[in-house]
Chain A
Amino acid sequence: MRLTCPLCGPRDRREYSCLGAEDYLNRPGAGAAPEAWDAYLHLRDNPAGRARDLWYHEGGCREWLLVTRSTVTHEVFAVELVAGRSGAAE
């Protein structure tokens, strides 16, 4: 498996580590209901098909990446930087 880092170019899977679903980007506000926190921490889809995951390029540029890929065909559709997305912390 290879991911094309937007900065470094195509790199081997060995350079990356996978955190998990994109949901980690959508942290509830401080006053959110317990249900929202429960969902944020514990509830995950398990899609057969298109999935969006967070990957860390720890063997390269140390960027967080949002990877859109298929869990069925292993096709990688897109790799984006998490930094610079709207709502991302500076």
Chain B
Amino acid sequence: MAELIAKPVFAGQGPLEKAGLTLEPLPSGPIWLVALYPGAAARAAKLLKPLGLSFPEPGRCSSADDLRLIWAGRDQAFLLGAAPPEGLTDTAALTDQSGGWAGLSLSGPGVEAALTRLVPLDLRLREFPPGRAARSLLNQIPALILREDETRFAIRVPRSMARSAWADCALALERLEARAER
């Protein structure tokens, strides 16, 4: 069988600093889709508890250290940072999507100003505090958007659209900087 060489999504792409904000690639890691079987919520909660996680409400993210369990749809969530625990196979349909996503981090004071240009959501701190997550659009790219803290968003997009997502974010920063200079 052919030996395939895994390439990083943003090979050689360094952080981009503009308008006081920083755009950088997120290190790739495991991403699993956890789709609960009907009536399995209580069992799943029991299995997730030792990890410090709970199954998130719509638009929320449950965090423990580097683990993130982000709501993805009705009875579905993305588990980031580790493979699902043993035993969860009887409770939920599990899909390894690690190679399918690319992550970007956008951070800095007033980071909402850049993302607001791309995302049709109210991302102000009051409406979208840390721990909130949304599946929405980044320009025209379906994206999973998570507010990590007050000044940092983690954005995940399908890997096939990673370079477009980078270009869109870079352009937003460029325009924001041009506006600040005037």
Chain A positions near chain B (C-beta within 8 angstroms): 7-9, 11-12, 14-15, 58-63, 81, 83, 90
Contact = CB atoms under 8 A, between A and B. Distances in A.
Interface stretch (B81-89, B100-108, B134-142, B164-172): B134-142
Given A60-B136, A61-B74, 19 more contacts: A7-B58, A7-B73, A8-B135, A9-B59, A11-B121, A14-B120, A15-B120, A15-B136, A15-B137, A58-B142, A59-B135, A59-B142, A60-B134, A60-B135, A61-B58, A61-B72, A61-B135, A81-B74, A90-B38
Contacts of B58: 7-8, 61
A8 B134 contact: yes
A33 to B, nearest CB: 35
A74 to B, nearest CB: 18
Nearest to B140: A14
Interface string B120-149: 110000000000001111000010000000
User: How big is the B interface, by class?
Assistant: 10 to 19
16 contacts: A7-B58, A7-B73, A7-B74, A9-B59, A11-B120, A11-B121, A11-B136, A12-B121, A15-B137, A59-B142, A60-B135, A61-B72, A61-B73, A61-B74, A62-B73, A90-B38
Contacts, number: 39
User: Lowest 9 CB-CB distances: which A-B pairs, in order?
Assistant: A12-B120, A61-B73, A59-B137, A7-B58, A60-B135, A62-B73, A14-B120, A59-B142, A59-B136
Contacts of B73: 7, 61-63
Nearest to A58: B142
Nearest to A61: B73
Nearest to B138: A59
B158 to A, nearest CB: 13
Nearest to A84: B74
Contacts of B137: 14-15, 59
Contacts of A90: 38
Contacts of A61: 58, 72-74, 135
A62 B71 CA distance: 12
Nearest to A5: B58
A2 B65 CA distance: 36
A65 to B, nearest CB: 12
A47 to B, nearest CB: 29
A11 B74 CA distance: 16
A90 to B, nearest CB: 7
A69 to B, nearest CB: 19
